[in-house]
Structure 1
Amino acid sequence: MRSRRSLTAVLVSVFVLAFMPPTTAVAAPLAPTHYVALGDSYTSGPLIPFQRLDQIGCLRSTNNYPSVVARRLGHTVLTDVSCAGADTTDMTQRQELAIGYNPPQFDALRPDTDLVTIGIGGNNYSVFGSAIDTCPALRESDPTGSPCREHFTVDGVDTLKAAIERTRDDVEEVLVGIRQRSPEATILLIGYPRIAPPHGTCPDILPFADGDYAWLNDIEETLNAALATAATNSGTGTTFIDTYPASLGHDACSDHAWIQGKTLNPIGAAHYHPNRWGMEGVAEVILDHLGDRSR
C-alpha cells in the first residue's frame, strides 16, 4: 500500500536475500489442495524475512500470510503471485517492476484451484500512497490540526474517499474474474489491518498531524467497507475477511505493532507495511474463518 511503483525501486536497493525451508505441518481436515494468493504489498510482505527469489521485484516473503496459512493447513500447494505495487489492473496485465516484470496474477488460477485469497485495492488511484507521501510533510504546518484531511478535501468532497468508490467497482470486476477462472474455489477478499491507533498519537513513529489520525482511520475503514460491499455485490460467493478488528492494539504506535512505522527496516518490514507479527495476525483471522467453515 503505497505509491504504485516508486516504493518497489527503493526497497530493491536494500533487499536482503535468504532462504527458509518450509516447516512441517500437521494435515488439517478439508484442507485445500491448491491455494492461489493474489494481492499487493500487504500480501507479499516486503522485507519480511525471508524474501523469495521469484520475482525479486515483487518482494514476496516466505513468512507472509499466504505462506503461514498454507503451512498451517497442511497438504496445500501454495502458488503465491502477490506483488508489491500491484493494483487491480495487474490481475490481467503484466506488472512492470524495477527488475523485470510479474506476469498477470490471474495466470496462476486454474479450474481446480480450491482456495483463493486476494488482498487488493489500496494502490488503486494511489489512495494510500497519496496519504503516506503527503501527510507527514504537512504535519509541521498544523501539528495539532488536520492539514492532510483539508488537503484532500476539494469543494467539500474528500477526494480519497471518492477514489475508494471507484475502487469498489474495480474489485468487484476482479472477483468476477476469479470465479470465472476458478469456479469451485473458496474466495476470500482480505481487508487491511489498522495503521493508526483509535486514540492518541506517536509522531516519532507515525508522523501525521494529531487530527489526521482519526482521518486516516476513517480512510481505512472506508476502504474496508468498500471491499466488504464488493464481496457482497460481486455475486461470486466471496467472503470478506475483516482484519481491522483483530488489529486493534497492534497499530504502528503500539508495543506489539503489526505495522512498521515511518522508518524502513531492511531486515524486518517496509515502512507503513505489515511486519511478520502482522502477517501472522492476518493469517490467524483467515484460519479462524476456514476452521469455522469446516465445522
Structure 2
Amino acid sequence: MTSSWTTGRAVRLWRLAAVVGVFAAAVTEGSAWAEPAPAPGRALVVLGDSYTANPPCDAVLVKCSDEHATGLRSCLHGPTSWPVQLSALMGLTAEDVENNSCSSATIDTGPVTSTGEQVAGRNGYTLSQEALAAAQDGAFGPRTRVVAIQLGFNDAWPRDAAITADAARVFTCVVDLVHGCDEDAVAQGRWPDLDSITGAAYAERIRKVVDYVRYYAPNARIELVGYPEVAPADAADWCFDLFGLVRWVQPRARAMVEFWNRLQLAEREAAGRLGIDFVDTQQATAGHGLCSAEPWFNGFLDPGINLAGLPFHPSPHGDVVVAATVYSHVA
C-alpha cells in the first residue's frame, strides 16, 4: 500500500516536473534549463505587466524599454510604480526585491497561435519567463515573504485566439465614433471573447507557476493583484484626456468596460480556486476612473498628472493607493 506521504510527494513532484517543463519551453532556443540551486530568496518578488511596471514613457515619443540593456533588465520601471512603493512600505532594500514586471507582458500569450498564425505586436514576456528569470536570480527561497502577480490584460481570450485588448486595438476603439467598442465588437472580431474570461480559465493558466512558487518559496504569500477601476461596472463611456486640456469621450465602449469587469471576477475566482490571496484594487480606486472628475490615471502628455506616463495607466497617486492596498494584505 502506498502511504499518504508518498502519494502527496508524488503529486508535488509531478506538478513540479510539469512546471519545469513549462519554464524550459519559455527559455530562448539554444539555452539549457537547469533547476536552480537552493537559495535563501528575496523578500519581495513581483511578476506583472505595464500596470505593474508603469514605466516613465508614453509609448509614442518615449520608448518603454532601455536600449542599452538586454532581457528583462531592459524593462523600465516607474519610480512611483506600486512595486517600488510597496517595497518602501515593507522597509526593503533594493537587494531584497526582484521586480520582473514588464510592459506588454502576458500570462501565456505568445506571438504565434497554435495554428501558426503570426500576430503582430505580441512580443512581451510571459509569466513563466518572468518567474524563470527570478528563479535564476535566486529570488525564490525560504526568505521570500511576498510574490505578487498582476497579469491578464494583454492576453488572448480565449487562450489561443488572435484577438487581444492590445494598445492599438484599445486606441482604435476609443477614437472610432462610427463603430465604437460595444459588445457587438466581439462578434465582429474586433475585441476578445468576453465569455471566455473565467476564473477556471485564469486559474489553469497560472497554476503551474503558482505550484512552482509554493514549492521553492514555501513561506511566501502569493498575492494576485487586480487592476484598478478604469470605469464603473455599469458604464458605457471610455475617456481619454489629451494634454490636460481636452477630454475625448467614446460613448460606445461597453465591451471595453465589460472586459475589465470579467477580468476582475476571473482573478478573484482564480485566487479562490488556487488558494492564494486576491488583492481588490478596483474597490480601493472606485470613483476615480478615466471619466471621473478626479481620475487616478495618466492622460496623454498631461503635465497636471504625469507628463511622461503611459495613457490609461495609473497616475502616481493611483499607484500610491494600489501599493497601500497590497501592503494591507501583507503587513
Alignment TM-score, normalising by the size of structure 2: 0.63
CA contact (8 A) 1:86 1:120 kept: yes
Partner SS for 1:93: helix
Q: CA deviation at 1:186?
A: 0.7
Q: Distance in 2 between matches of 1:256 and 1:105?
A: 37
Q: Does 1:60 align with 2:77?
A: yes
Report the secondary structure of 2:250's partner residue: coil
Query: After superposition, what is the alpha-carbon deviation per residue over 1:138-163, rounded to whole angstroms, capped at 9, x for unaligned?
Result: 3x215xxx5442121359xx843144
Matches within 5 A, 1:21-40: 34-40=43-49
**2: distance between equivalents of 1:172 and 1:161?**
21
The Cα of 1:83 is off from its aligned counterpart by 0.9
1:248 partner amino acid: A
Counterpart Cα distance in 1 of 2:255 and 2:98: 36
Work out which of the residue numbers 287, 291, 305 in structure 2 matches 1:249.
287
Give the equivalent residue in structure 1 for 2:319. 279
Partner of 2:146: 115
Contact between 2:146 and 2:330, CA under 8 Å: does it hold in 1? no
Q: Which residue of 2 aligns with 1:6?
A: none
Equivalent residue runs for 1:205-216 within 5 Å: 205=241, 207=248, 209-212=250-253, 214-216=254-256
How much has 1:103 moved relative to structure 2?
6.8
TM-score (norm 1): 0.70
Which whole-Å CA distance do the structure 2 matches of 1:287 and 1:66 have between them? 10
Counterpart CA distance in 1 for 2:50 and 2:84 is 14
How far does the alpha carbon of each residue in 1:152-188 deviate from its partner, in whole angstroms, 9 at most, with x for none?
A: 1359xx8431442444421233322322332221111
Residue type of the partner of 1:261? G
Looking at structure 1, the residues matched to 238 and 182 of structure 2 have their Cα atoms a distance apart, in angstroms, of 16
Matches of 2:236 and 2:262, distance apart in 1: 21
Q: Give the secondary-structure state (helix, strand or coil) at the position aligned to 1:38.
A: strand
Aligned-pair distance for 1:228? 1.3
**1:96-245 aligned within 5 A:** 104-108=133-137, 109-112=139-142, 113-125=144-156, 127-129=164-166, 131-138=169-176, 140-141=177-178, 147-153=181-187, 159-165=192-198, 166-197=201-232, 199=235, 201=237, 203=239, 205=241, 207=248, 209-212=250-253, 214-234=254-274, 237-245=275-283
1:123 is matched by which residue type in structure 2?
N
State the alpha-carbon separation in 1 of the partners of residues 293 and 136 from structure 2: 40
Runs of 4+ in 1 over 4 A off after TM superposition: 51-56, 197-204, 262-267
Structure 2, unmatched stretches of 5+, are: 1-40, 58-63, 109-125, 157-162, 242-246
Contact 1:36–1:78 (CA under 8 A) maintained in structure 2: yes
Percent of matched pairs sharing the same residue: 24
Larger Cα-atom Rg: 2
Distance 1:180 1:149, change over 3 A: same
The separation in 2 between residues aligned to 1:264 and 1:59, in whole angstroms, is: 20
Residue 261 (structure 1) aligned to one of 291, 295, 299: 299
Q: What amino acid maps onto 2:97 in structure 1?
A: L
In the alignment, the residues of structure 2 paired with residue 150 and residue 160 of structure 1 have an alpha-carbon distance, to the nearest angstrom, of 10
CA RMSD of aligned residues (A): 3.4
The 8 Å contact of residues 194 and 217 in structure 1, kept in 2 or not, is answered as: no
Amino acid at match of 1:44: A
Aligned length: 243
